Structure 1
């Protein structure tokens, strides 16, 4: 197995369509999936912090329906 020196690596990380993986592209592209995942992680963390602060939407709904 032959290894390449680190200076031979590409300057931009590319995905299958040959575009920068961090480019903000619309449509069904690998970049869109990466951004969707990032926004989902941010939303999950925001909800977790909101819940830890005592404002739980899920707990309020369950209390409202009688659980």
Structure 2
């Protein structure tokens, strides 16, 4: 296996269960958890930008409660 000389780490992360880590696979597989985390991060960032633009679902719901 080839390593990066500066860090002594492999240049690419090893595969899970013999399959590429970035493969989009359905079912209960380690790759699904990686994609789930990535999509959740995109969702949180999108909501943060939406909130900073002045549209807030949470703020609107809290205003309805009062």
TM-score (structure 2 length as normaliser): 0.81
For the aligned residue pairs, the C-alpha RMSD in angstroms reads 2.3
Hey, which bits of structure 1, 4+ residues long, moved more than 4 A?
9-12
| Structure 2 equivalent of residue 38 of structure 1 | 38
Instruction: Give the Å deviation of 1:11.
Output: 6.5
- Larger Rg belongs to: 1
List gaps (5 residues or longer) in structure 1: none
| Consecutive unaligned residues in structure 2, runs of 5 or more | 5-9
**TM-score, normalisation: structure 1:** 0.80
